[in-house]
Structure 1
Amino acid sequence: MRAQQVQFHPLSEKHALEQVVRELSRHEPADAIGAAGPWIDSLVGSPDLGPNECARLLFALDEASQAPARNCVELYLAARHKSASERKRLWALTHGFWSMVLEAYADLLIMHAAEREPSARSFLAQLAVRAIRAGAQRAKWDAFRHGPIDDVVWARLNLAYRVAARSGVERESVRLRADRDATTSVEREYLRAVALHSLGPDQLDADRLELASRLVHYVSPRLELNSRPGTTTLYWVDLGHTLPPARMMQVPQQIVQGLFFSGASATLALHELLELVSAGNVPAGLLLQHDAGNTAGLSSVLSHMIRVWSNDAPLRRYRRHPVPGRLLVAMGLQEFSLRLGSEEHGGLLRDWSMRDASTHGVGVEAPEGDVDEVQLGMLLGMHSSDGNRWRVGTVRRLWRTAKGCNQVGIELLGNEPVGAVADDGAQRVKIILLDPLRRGLPVRVILPLSARSERPLYVLGQNRTVKLLPLPEREYGLDHEIRSYLFAV
């Protein structure tokens, strides 16, 4: 990048920059991010700085903010169990920080792209690496609240890779910190961003998305990003455009500069890791600090990654049909159980718009006020606005679109749920039967997480008590467990 005459900026003096970096290290994580923001903002478009000097200062502030930014992730995830207002504050602060950093790097990349004289290879490689890292963080914080991920994010990510590839530095090793031996590259950072995107952020809550991010780093040496499609290609992206990676259903015909992603080679390592986790041997750094004892969450993410990155692209077995109409929704196991028992004692029914439906799923749009309460894995009871036959489902997808729509994907669990009371040997619990009770046949039962589902269950009726024996099949939701039982003969 061509040198420009540098005038004066407060951080251009070495001692001033070092002092700011020291002060940032003394702050609490959120305070450090808040303090770094104005300094970064002062660099963007400053007439007192040439691009090289601006990049040098931005690199230093970015690096000084890495540890506080990582800690803000843990604080944000932990705040789910404490304060909604604190969670929103942390999200706005950290999301705003990464938005600012990404735009600062984008300005430098655009200036570089317009220059006729080439920049030093090491400088350009570091600029592109840091830009991609900032873009990946911005996308992750967007996904923490179920989107939308602004189109500008992938426009910036694609620009960074494209600029690096034009100069042939996309695979050049970059050491971001002089005191560490670890290196990375433009290709590696971009590959990680594509890999996380391929896992479907609309299917992962914030905790599981962060776990997925860590697991992507763990298996990144086995992930593939190629210039041509292969038999295991899952996603593709055109660097010549601003769109995010897309599932490859067929080989695209017109591509300006294509890259093709596959995670198939990582599935064996993920299977091995899943076996370790199931045995209680979890590698350091994978679990979340606020939930360090929860290996079930890590196992569920590993299973999800194995399923998504398998060789076969998922096929929709049942066609979706547009179905306009309204759905009245009871949110959560407790509220729906009350509705099944006596509608008079149920809570508020939510009024949602139907979009489409298939044999085993329903797509709806929820109002903004409701979608803030919806969580992946939550149980929902629902019926049409002009009927009273309940159906029950669970939230599988949740996404805010750029057009302001709040889309909820619901997997149907049963069309004729029946509420009942059962004794698990220690307490009476309200349950929901998904299948008819027939001697000698299995029946799926929805129970609260507090129930002792590993023991026989006694369903209490007016005239008789039915004994159900637990079967191995079980599945956990946000507020419930679905377990199969056998109606004892």
Structure 2
Amino acid sequence: MILDLFSAKPDHPLADAKELRRAIAELPLDNAYKAVDEVLGWLESLQVPEGFKPEHLFQTVRQLEEAAQPHLRRLARDYLHSPRLSKTEEKRLWMVNASFWDLLSRLYGLCIESYRRKDKGADALKPHLPLIFCRLILAFGTQLKWREYHYGPVDGGLWQRLGTAYLLAEAEGVAGKSLLLYPGHANPTTATQEYTKILMFHASSMDSLLPLEIELAERVIVYCLSQFLFTPQATPQSVYWIDPTQPSPPVRLAREPQASPHLRFFAPGAAQQTLDELIRSVERGSLPADLNLGGQYSARVLLPVLQHLAMYWAPNPPLREHQRHRVKSLLTVVNGFDNAFRVFTGGQEPEGATESWIAENVSLGGFGAHVPNLRGDWLRIGALLAMQPEGGNNWLLGVVRRYGRDSDTEAAVGIQTLARQAIAVELRPRGASSYSLAEKVSGMLLRDGMEEGEVRVVVPPATFDPKENLECVVDGQHLLLTPMDLQESGSDYEIARYRELRSEG
């Protein structure tokens, strides 16, 4: 009994190997959210690991993380593939994932701190340092990815903690140590590669992609990972740079940064050629066998992602098509196809559906705007908007192309103007017997920027048929619209291109 009083064995239930195995075995197999939540609870209990030897803490955290992996993958699939998640469900899934990776990084960080303090027994961590650093950097990167799914904000502290972890891996001489990150993985990685992956992820401008597109972009980055260049000095091929000691993300190498021993430079390198070959393969209808996208995706889904990456991996950054001018002006905004159609018919704005945003810059191509009060869950990349500038009586039609949260209640958006004038019409298939209610489809004709005799038409989803002509009446004249191609699809609309001909009725 007296010996028990002075025992170094911790009171934590997971200190016993049998209890740890039991806790993992009892994770529910049919409820991924509950399984991850239970692992989170165990990880939270380890934040003050009294009595745990450093290696024992690492092994406990490692096993809990590995047990959570299949459930985390299931939750990520639910988040990315479930159609129109409610705001509550979206927030619930986002929060449990973001919390998991944040807490995991803190615990692996505790292991590194213990080793560097030379705590009693911490020398046993030395052979595990390559894995600890890799998983720590991966945890920071996955936090960043989930924040990008949510379009931010990303605080500078995350970049600084990530950079510090990488520099410590270098200092310990393990940054280039190759290893398998998880049991069952086929491709080895290093701490340097994991860090480079995160840098290239940020440099690829994810704020103009949908969450699923962000996931696909990251998987393509992983596929090209070994081909990126990462150097301590600038080279003729360098495109971006970062100071890992600073709370700042990487930036384009527009000019030489102030000298510092911590500066790192990186570039797509040979990955540009690999990406070009990948684009050609997708256009031919094939994919490399070793490209793991986590599922089967059509060229229509994948090609825009690859083309986006090609633009941002190019030696020269994409240039703005139109010059921006700073302004400060209110915008009245309504969202969605139905509301936009209503205002373009000349009707009143739907009650309770209007929002007031602040236009901060304007160009021929669109607006940059500040959203001071996020409402509902509709705002996302690809959302259709009708906008009325302060003092004007005309409405503009646009689509959200960039989206970044400044906080939980505020955001910045980039809006592409589709048309400065849209014509609301009622469409029917050519040859239908009458303009009966069952046959009518609402649409908006856009002539801005079109070739003579062509028009874009915004219609509800699943309306466009490449074999079906449409008719409408504009200013008393019958028009015949013959389909050319479908240009874009959103959650509640399609934009298709048609040839516009006068119909004989």
Tell me the TM-score normalized by structure 2. Answer: 0.86
Does structure 1 residue 459 correspond to structure 2 residue 472?
yes
- CA shift, 1:461, in A, is 2.7
Aligned runs of 1:73-222 on 2, under 5 Å?
73-81=76-84, 83-115=86-118, 121-177=126-182, 182-222=187-227
Match of 2:436 in 1: none
Match of 1:356 in 2: 361
Does structure 1 residue 40 correspond to structure 2 residue 43?
yes
Structure 1 residues 349 and 180 mapped into 2: Cα distance closer, same or farther (>3 Å)? Answer: closer
Partners of 1:191 and 1:439 lie apart in 2 by 44
- Per-residue Cα deviation, 1:132-156 (whole angstroms, up to 9, x for no partner): 1111111111121111123332222
Which secondary structure does the structure 2 equivalent of 1:323 belong to?
strand
Conserved? CA contact 2:418–2:448, under 8 Å: no
Does structure 1 residue 323 correspond to structure 2 residue 336?
no
Deviating more after overlay: 452-461 vs 325-334: 452-461
Does structure 1 residue 446 correspond to structure 2 residue 458?
yes
- CA shift, 1:409, in A, is 0.9
- CA shift, 1:406, in A, is 0.9
Structure 1 residues 378 and 257 mapped into 2: Cα distance closer, same or farther (>3 Å)? Answer: same
Does structure 1 residue 227 correspond to structure 2 residue 232?
yes
Which secondary structure does the structure 2 equivalent of 1:392 belong to?
strand
Conserved? CA contact 2:482–2:500, under 8 Å: yes
Partners of 1:369 and 1:252 lie apart in 2 by 37
Match of 2:446 in 1: 434
- CA shift, 1:239, in A, is 1.2
RMSD after superposition: 3.0
Partners of 2:464 and 2:227 lie apart in 1 by 41
Match of 2:309 in 1: 305
- CA shift, 1:131, in A, is 0.5
Match of 1:376 in 2: 381
Conserved? CA contact 1:364–1:408, under 8 Å: yes
Which secondary structure does the structure 2 equivalent of 1:228 belong to?
coil
- CA shift, 1:375, in A, is 1.5
Q: For structure 1, which runs of at least 5 residues remain unmatched after alignment?
A: none
- CA shift, 1:91, in A, is 1.5
Tell me the TM-score normalized by structure 1. Answer: 0.89
Match of 1:258 in 2: 263
Conserved? CA contact 2:228–2:271, under 8 Å: yes
- CA shift, 1:294, in A, is 4.8
- CA shift, 1:22, in A, is 2.3
Structure 1 residues 431 and 21 mapped into 2: Cα distance closer, same or farther (>3 Å)? Answer: same
Does structure 1 residue 30 correspond to structure 2 residue 43?
no
Q: Which amino acid aligns with 2:244?
A: L
Structure 1 residues 305 and 181 mapped into 2: Cα distance closer, same or farther (>3 Å)? Answer: closer
Conserved? CA contact 1:441–1:486, under 8 Å: yes
Q: How many equivalent residue pairs?
A: 483
Structure 1 residues 112 and 28 mapped into 2: Cα distance closer, same or farther (>3 Å)? Answer: same
Match of 1:314 in 2: 318
Conserved? CA contact 2:80–2:212, under 8 Å: yes
Q: Which amino acid aligns with 2:323?
A: R
Does structure 1 residue 241 correspond to structure 2 residue 253?
no
- CA shift, 1:246, in A, is 2.0
- Per-residue Cα deviation, 1:108-132 (whole angstroms, up to 9, x for no partner): 3344444499776532211110101
Deviating more after overlay: 376-385 vs 238-247: 238-247
Deviating more after overlay: 96-105 vs 441-450: 441-450
What is the identity percentage for the equivalent residue pairs of Structure 1 and Structure 2? 27
Match of 2:348 in 1: 344
Q: Which amino acid aligns with 1:217?
A: V
Q: For structure 2, which runs of at least 5 residues remain unmatched after alignment?
A: 1-6, 433-438
Deviating more after overlay: 438-447 vs 169-178: 438-447
- Per-residue Cα deviation, 1:299-353 (whole angstroms, up to 9, x for no partner): 2212211122122112234332221121011212221011101323746222112
Partners of 1:472 and 1:185 lie apart in 2 by 45
